[in-house]
């Protein structure tokens, strides 16, 4: 039995690394569910010639890849910048923006602030760097 926190958005000024980790876990779990319940089952039906009504679902694997891709996934970049002795919140945000700005699931806020936005399967969440 798996019991984890649900998807969290505690407000634009308060989402921190804790919510980022919780939401990443939920994003990954949703992708696993989609793959095993929808994708694999429908592929199995098709391979066996079973007639069924195709179920459309939102594939969130690209959002999961935003977090875990190598070498420039969100978690890798955060880890790398956190291990630099002179790393700052500003340098971390600059690095994230530099490497992730073209990803459709990563956004920068309209006004300049120490934050970034992730477009999760459950909605957009703004995370504070500080």
Digit-coded pLDDT (tens) for 10-28: 886 789 999 999 999 999 9
Per domain, the residue ranges of the chain are 17-128
Angle at which helices 61-68 and 17-33 cross, to 10°: 140
Tell me if 119 sits within 8 A of 104, measured CB to CB: yes
Q: Provide CB contacts within 8 A for 83, sequence distance 6+.
A: none
pLDDT of res. 6: 83
Domain 17-128 bears CATH identifier 2.170.150.70: no
- Pick the closest to residue 8 from 17, 19, 18, 16 (CA basis): 19
- Between the alpha carbon of residue 6 and those of residues 53, 67, 81, the distances in Å are 30, 18, 28
> Could you tell me the pLDDT band of residue 41, with boundaries at 50, 70 and 90?
confident
d(CA 89, CA 115): 10
pLDDT of res. 12: 61
Specify the pTM.
0.87
């Amino acid at each position: 039995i798996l019991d984890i926190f649900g998807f969290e958005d505690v407000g634009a000024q308060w989402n921190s690394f804790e919510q980022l980790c919780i939401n990443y876990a939920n994003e990954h779990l949703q992708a696993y569910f989609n793959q095993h319940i929808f994708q694999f089952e429908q592929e199995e039906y098709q391979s066996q010639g079973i007639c069924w009504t195709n179920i459309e679902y939102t594939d969130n694997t690209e959002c999961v890849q935003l977090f875990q891709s190598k070498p420039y996934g969100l978690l890798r970049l955060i880890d790398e910048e956190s291990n630099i002795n002179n790393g700052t919140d500003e340098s971390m945000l600059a690095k994230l923006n530099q490497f992730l700005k073209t990803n459709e699931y990563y956004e920068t806020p309209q006004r300049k602030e120490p934050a970034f936005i992730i477009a999760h399967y459950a909605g957009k969440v703004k995370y504070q760097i500080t």
